[in-house]
Structure 1
Amino acid sequence: MHKLIKNEFIKLHYRKKFVITIIIFALICGLFSFAYSKVQKYSTPDAQISILNKSKTQLQNEKDSTSDSTKKEQLEQSISGIDSQIDQLKTSKASTSSKNWKASLKNQIDSLKDQKNSATDISSDNAKETYNKQIIFYQYFIDHNIKPQANGSFSAFNFLDSLFKLLGSLFIPIIIAILSADIVSGEYTPPTMKMLLTRPASRSKILISKFVAILASSIIIITVIELVSYLIMGIIYGFDNPMYPVLVGTKYTSSAIKLSQDSTGLIPVLGSSYIIATWKFIIQMFLFQLLYILACCSLFILFSTILRSSTLSMTLSILATIVVNILSSISYLAKATPFFFSTYGSISSILDSSIIQSTGVTYITPLFGCIFLIVFSAICYSISAYVFHKKDINI
């Protein structure tokens, strides 16, 4: 069996598209890393204050040069709004850099407790658990003596989270589709399948060896490039405190009142949220991604098994990925979102339950996601095995 797997690895890794795919995926991650670092430079409090000051100067000059009293009044209001934003940024910056940050957080906790006590639980915005999440979040900083990050400061964890979101639903499936499109169908042209089946190995072992080769290769390529990107950005800009808090576990229930047509009508359940450390959340992200890669490989090897043409297999795989992504974005199909495999490419939104707010489906939990991906993979592979076992090899 191991010889079959080794042989499939060799065949896969010596294909030109294998190297090209790695280069393309690495370039995507590299370009995103560069773009993310540039955006972060303009999102710091100092950068935002500088931009606002420039806007204020332009408005002030425009105000001084106009004689229209109505326009002057409008410009004055705009300048006043900018001054307010600058003051808020300066206050936020001072609170995170102050030595008395614990006292500041305690004051905010007391204020949030008052708001929690007066909350009505009519909508998500004014639900008791919404305030409770902020309370336990701030309390965690105090209990673990962790200073909160300033708004807009670079976070290696936020970078990794953004990278996963960029790659998950679209790029990872497409990369796997390109790699696996001809894993079976490619054996028909040139006709090597008949020769392969003359070896003393069952069809089951042949298909398993191909599946293991594409699964392991996909995991290695994707995980290694993501980790390298994360490490490089962390080395350049600094890593987060591994104990930094991440809010997870929030459960939702239907509200008695739906405030708007676009509202999901859900409110968070009081006491359902809890905090885990950043390092644990990152490990969970990578582990969940392994299941997602497993599901993608299972689906695309099914296409490769059913179809004899590598081109058709690749085209169908990529089209399936794009179509499923489009369907999952249609609000009318929100209830079907849990049954689109691409939904689970948005890993952090699954783990922190934020996807429930956007879809209105309360059972899209990490546990449901794991079960769905495993069952989906098993079904796809079982069909592939059945088709491959029954297929006539007429070459």
Structure 2
Amino acid sequence: MYRLITNELQKIFKRRKVLVVSIVFIAIILFFSLVQYKESHKTPVQTIVQNEKYISVYKEEMAYLDADTQKRVKENIAQYKNEIQEAYRAEDLDKLNWKDRIKYQISDDEKKKKLPDIVSDDTKIEQVNAQILSKKYALKNSVPDAADDYNEKALDVFIKMVSYVSLIILPVIICVIVLDVVSGECSPPTMKMLLTKPFSRGKILFSKFMAASIASIIAIVFSELISLIILGIVIGFGSINAPVSLGTKYQFNADKVLAGNWHDVKAIIGSTYVEPQWKVMLEMFGLEILFILAFTSICILISVLVNSNTVSMTSGIIIAVIMSFIVLKIMAGDGSSAGDVPFRKIAPYLINTYSSPGFLLSGDMTSQIRNPDISVGLGVLVNVITGAVCYIIAHIRFTRKDMLV
């Protein structure tokens, strides 16, 4: 079996696809990470100037907008004003040492929970609670970096960016690497030679699955690690013990009904917890590898079912993009479209919903899709069941398929 797997790995890496895909993936992560860093890495003064410009533009356009758009614009203006207040506060706090600064921030956040626009909103309260938990963790574990909200480092940017990029890029990368593993050898001479080896068809398929999975993991995880190292060299790594808030749970909000008679969700107060960045990254990589294994099974199934290499590659990528598009569409929706409701219902059972481990761990996937059924536990279950079912079907089809005609 080991010889079969290494032989399949050699065939995959000889095609240079893994190298090309890895280079492209690294370039994408670095480009968007640096754009994100440039956008978020501003001094308090820069934040104040920029937000005041945004507010001025919004006010000029307000008269030409419809009622719903005006409501969203007013919310944006309120957010910008809040960021301006926080920027002024940050300027004042710069005079303090990091411990006193964090203590002041905690005290200020405790007061913030009593503000009129927050006190009646469980989601906003839990967001403030998450900030308080992070600050208390930093104080307890001596993490000075957490005192400066305007100084993001490579680890901060990396975790955010990988969460976004994974949603659509991850499935496509797996498709490119895996989809021709079986269909690419379906010509009679190639398959005849393969089947003359002293191995059962089941072992041959399993070796292809393992080799494709290993190649995909190398292409994705190693590319991410290389991107992180380059980012760290350019902008600084930051502390691996810096706190990250995770696990926010949500429930349906009976008081807020969206289009299609679908209820919005609200955070469950006290559900958020904090972990250091190094632990979060390990959990992200673990969930990502699980997704890679499951999606590799889907690609193996397509490759077994379709004899044509071109058709296999095209159909697989189209399926991956459509599934990712469904997830992105309902994440981006504001609840005003009744057409999103069927997709919100099935989203917890779509494997692509769990392609972004960062969003899954934080609870953002649950919040944006507006379905509290989405969770890490269900994500693991969906990945395992989907992967197992697809592989079993592929195994049955491959072992019974007549490939000698």
TM-score bin (small chain): 0.7 to 0.9
Distance verdict in 2 for CA 1:20–1:109, change over 3 Å: closer
Find 1:342's aligned residue among 352, 365, 368: 352
1:304 Cα deviation from its structure 2 partner: 0.4
1:306 Cα deviation from its structure 2 partner: 0.6
**Alpha-carbon distance in structure 2 between the residues aligned to 1:335 and 1:203:** 39
Which residue of 2 is the match for residue 137 of structure 1?
134
Contact 1:156 1:240 in 2 (8 A): yes
Distance verdict in 2 for CA 1:124–1:191, change over 3 Å: farther
Give the counterpart letter for 2:305 in structure 1.
I
Which residue of 2 is the match for residue 204 of structure 1?
202
Find 2:174's aligned residue among 170, 176, 179: 176
* Residue segments in structure 1 that go unaligned for 5+ positions in a row: 60-81
Give the counterpart letter for 2:5 in structure 1.
I
Which residue of 2 is the match for residue 277 of structure 1?
276
1:1-395 equivalences under 5 Å are 1-41=1-41, 43-49=42-48, 51=50, 88-95=86-93, 98-99=96-97, 100-112=100-112, 114=114, 119-120=119-120, 123-125=121-123, 129-147=126-144, 148-189=146-187, 191-258=189-256, 261=259, 264-328=263-327, 329-330=329-330, 331-332=340-341, 333-395=343-405
**Alpha-carbon distance in structure 2 between the residues aligned to 1:96 and 1:377:** 51
> Could you give the per-residue CA deviations for residues 319-365 of structure 1, whole angstroms, max 9, x where no partner exists?
00111122222422111111222111121111111222112221211
> Could you give the per-residue CA deviations for residues 219-270 of structure 1, whole angstroms, max 9, x where no partner exists?
0111111001111111222222222221222222233311655984323223
Moved over 4 A (4+): 49-53, 82-88, 112-116, 259-264
**Alpha-carbon distance in structure 2 between the residues aligned to 1:296 and 1:83:** 44
TM-score (norm 2): 0.81
Give the counterpart letter for 1:394 in structure 2.
L
Contact 1:159 1:230 in 2 (8 A): no
1:290 Cα deviation from its structure 2 partner: 0.3
The 3-state SS of whatever aligns with 2:256 is coil
How many pairs were matched up? Answer: 367
Q: Alignment RMSD, CA only?
A: 3.0
Distance verdict in 2 for CA 1:188–1:255, change over 3 Å: closer
The higher radius of gyration belongs to 1
Distance verdict in 2 for CA 1:306–1:97, change over 3 Å: farther
Give the counterpart letter for 2:101 in structure 1.
W
The 3-state SS of whatever aligns with 2:149 is coil
**Alpha-carbon distance in structure 2 between the residues aligned to 1:83 and 1:339:** 39
**Alpha-carbon distance in structure 2 between the residues aligned to 1:85 and 1:109:** 13
Give the counterpart letter for 1:388 in structure 2.
F
**Alpha-carbon distance in structure 2 between the residues aligned to 1:132 and 1:163:** 24
Larger displacement relative to structure 2 (99-108 or 195-204): 99-108
1:315 Cα deviation from its structure 2 partner: 0.4
The 3-state SS of whatever aligns with 1:272 is coil
Give the counterpart letter for 2:267 in structure 1.
P
Give the counterpart letter for 2:8 in structure 1.
E
Distance verdict in 2 for CA 1:93–1:394, change over 3 Å: farther
The 3-state SS of whatever aligns with 1:145 is coil
Distance verdict in 2 for CA 1:197–1:374, change over 3 Å: same
TM-score (norm 1): 0.83
> Could you give the per-residue CA deviations for residues 352-383 of structure 1, whole angstroms, max 9, x where no partner exists?
11222112221211111111101111011111
Q: Identity percentage over the alignment?
A: 30
Contact 2:21 2:219 in 1 (8 A): no
Distance verdict in 2 for CA 1:192–1:96, change over 3 Å: farther
**Alpha-carbon distance in structure 1 between the residues aligned to 2:83 and 2:308:** 59
Give the counterpart letter for 1:133 in structure 2.
A
